[in-house]
C-alpha cells in the first residue's frame, strides 16, 4: 500500500530546493538523505532526497538530479509516497499505523461481525470508519473502552459497543 508522506509546493531559491507540505508522522525518517520516494504523477519519479532543511517553519527538500529553479518548479503539485512495507511497526503495542488497521474485520465481543475498517480519522479523537456488510457506515471512537482488542496479525478488531452505537447505520 502506498502512503502519502508529502506534497511538493513551490520552488525555493535558485538551486533546486522545493517546499514540501509534510503529511507524515516521521518527516526525519521519510525525508532522510538518500530516501527514495515514489511520485504521482509517476513519470516525475522516483525522487531521491539529496538534502533537507527547515526554513521559516517549512521543510525544504532538494532532490538528486533536480538542478535549478525551473526544474524544481516542474515538480510543483507532485505527491510523494512510501511503500507501507518499508515502515517498521511501532514499539508500543497499543499504537498502530493507519495502514495496519485498514482492512481489519470488526467483530463484537460476542463474535458477531460488524464490518471492515475502511479508514481512520484523526480529529479531536481518533475514529474508526467501519463499512458494514450491508454497505452502511459506522463511526467508532478508537478508545480502549470501545475497542478492547486489536489483533493485526489475526486480521481483526474486537468492539465492545454501548447500546445503540452500531444501530446508527440503520
Question: 149: helix, coil or strand?
Answer: strand
Q: Do domains 2-86 and 98-169 have the same CATH topology?
A: no
pLDDT at position 63 over 70: yes
Topology adopted by domain 98-169: SH3 type barrels. (2.30.30)
Instruction: Express each pLDDT in 19-56 by its tens digit.
Output: 998 887 778 878 889 888 988 888 887 999 999 998 88
Right CATH for 2-86 from 1.10.10.10, 3.40.50.150, 3.30.430.20, 2.40.30.60 = 2.40.30.60
pLDDT, tens digit, for every residue of 119-155? 888 777 888 999 988 888 888 898 888 999 888 888 9
Residues 6+ apart with CB under 8 A from 10: 18, 19, 73, 76
Sorted by where each begins, the domain ranges of the chain are 2-86, 98-169
Q: What is the pTM of this model?
A: 0.59
Amino acid at each position: 500500500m502506498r502512503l502519502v508522506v508529502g506534497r511538493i509546493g513551490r520552488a525555493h531559491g535558485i538551486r533546486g530546493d522545493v517546499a514540501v507540505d509534510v503529511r507524515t508522522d516521521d518527516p526525519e525518517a521519510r525525508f532522510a538523505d538518500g530516501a527514495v520516494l515514489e511520485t504521482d504523477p509517476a513519470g516525475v519519479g522516483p525522487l531521491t532526497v539529496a538534502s533537507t532543511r527547515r526554513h521559516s517553519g517549512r521543510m525544504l527538500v532538494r532532490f538528486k538530479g533536480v538542478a535549478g529553479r525551473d526544474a524544481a518548479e516542474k515538480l510543483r503539485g507532485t505527491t510523494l509516497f512510501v511503500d507501507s512495507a518499508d515502515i517498521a511497526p511501532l514499539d508500543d503495542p497499543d499504537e498502530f499505523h493507519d495502514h495496519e488497521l485498514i482492512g481489519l474485520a470488526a467483530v463484537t465481543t460476542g463474535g458477531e461481525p460488524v464490518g471492515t475498517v475502511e479508514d481512520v480519522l484523526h480529529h479531536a479523537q481518533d475514529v474508526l470508519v467501519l463499512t458494514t456488510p450491508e454497505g452502511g457506515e459506522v463511526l467508532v471512537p478508537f478508545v480502549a473502552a470501545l475497542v478492547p482488542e486489536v489483533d493485526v496479525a489475526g486480521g481483526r478488531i474486537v468492539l465492545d459497543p454501548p447500546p445503540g452505537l452500531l444501530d446508527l447505520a440503520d
